[in-house]
Copies of this chain bind each other. A is one copy, B any other.
Amino acid sequence: MTKTKLRLPDRKVKVTLRDVALRADVSESTVSRIMRNEGLVAEATREKVMESVRALGYVPNRIAGSLASLETHLLGVVVPSLSNIVFPEVLQGINAGLRGSRYQAVISVSDYEMDHEETLVRGILAWQPKAILITGFDHTLATRRMLDQSGVRVVEMMEIDSAPIDIAVGMSHRRAGYAAGRHLVERGYRRFGYVGHDWTSDRRARQRYDGLSEALSEAGLSIVAHAIADGSSAIGAGKRQTALLRSMAEVDVAVYSNDDMAVGGIFHCMEAGIAVPDQLAIFGFNGLEIGRDLPRPLSTIRSNRFLIGQKSIEAILQAPERPATKTTIDTGFEIFAGATA
């Protein structure tokens, strides 16, 4: 009795299935069945076992369970950022969709770095997730290969302008930009300015820009001034770039890469005493809450980030195995006229 594996006094006593089974005087399989609500069990047995479970404070070990069943209920999620509110909104949709299901989300943030994204995807795949939700179509070759070969369901969220690995859920940013252009031309604007942020990390902003350019070009117009912030796409940058834009050329409307920057534009105009939309019209993208609550509602394009997350989950829950055909789900967008353009 000198070297027996004694149960230590109180802490770190890891209670296993076996302990529960011994205490309840049944076999491990019985306990296992009861914990999983699977198969038939006599009510008396169930109660006896559950009593032990409670008494011992047993928490099933899913690591062991997953290894044995070769199945996890994990979902990998990769977003580029959390500082841009649109991604938390997508996560909310994911969360809502997951509510009540047996799945758990493992969330990672790539900081818009593709190499880091690759590392994250590798790390997630190592947990044998049932599916992986990732942002956009821009990935390293290795990431794309891993995702494809993993055989699990892959959702590429936010955009639908390219062919997905498996499923794409989002909207056409090119068409959104185009729609914005048409809308503004119809409203009589002629001298366009563009305020944006770094395109290398945000290809979707670029696509919107391209769509906008196309619409203008069809109307015989073009963008006469550009003010591009280096990194940030936030309100402060919007203020600064708006000031810059106005120093570059006479414009009657400024189109922003997103609502945050557009709100910055509005704040700049307030400070500088510029009448919106008479002296300068302002048009954003996203349809954030703040834009709606502004004294003068921001003209913008509304996308539905929550829906993107929710639809992504729905798609996966409906068909947990990857089929042969690719799917694209368009969550659409909508022009919100507002009062700033």
Which residues of A line the B interface, CB within 8 A? 11-12, 57, 59-64, 66-67, 72, 82-83, 85, 87-89, 91-92, 95, 104-109, 122-128, 145-146, 149-151, 234-236, 239, 263-264, 267, 270-271, 289-290, 292-295
Q: How many copies does the complex hold?
A: 2
Complex Cα distance A95/B236, Å? 24
Residues of B within 8 A of A236 (CB): 289, 292-293
Complex Cα distance A235/B235, Å? 16
Q: Considering only CB atoms, which chain B residue lies closest to A12 in the complex?
A: B151
Asked whether A95 lies within 8 Å of B123 as measured between CB atoms, the reply is no
Smallest CB–CB gap between A298 and chain B, Å?
A: 12
Interface of A is mostly: helix
Asked whether B61 lies within 8 Å of A126 as measured between CB atoms, the reply is yes
Residues of B within 8 A of A87 (CB): 88
Smallest CB–CB gap between A63 and chain B, Å?
A: 5
* 8 new A-B contacts at CB < 8 Å, known A95-B109, A104-B123: A63-B72, A63-B127, A82-B89, A83-B89, A104-B124, A105-B107, A235-B290, A290-B290
Asked whether B82 lies within 8 Å of A88 as measured between CB atoms, the reply is yes
Of B67, B82, B239, the residue contacting A91 (CB under 8 A) is B82
Complex Cα distance A95/B112, Å? 13
Smallest CB–CB gap between A65 and chain B, Å?
A: 8
Asked whether B61 lies within 8 Å of A128 as measured between CB atoms, the reply is yes
Q: List 9 A-B contacts (CB under 8 A).
A: A11-B151, A59-B126, A61-B67, A61-B128, A92-B109, A104-B106, A107-B107, A239-B293, A264-B293
Residues of B within 8 A of A294 (CB): 267
Q: Considering only CB atoms, which chain B residue lies closest to A60 in the complex?
A: B126
Residues of B within 8 A of A57 (CB): 145-146, 149
Complex Cα distance A12/B152, Å? 9
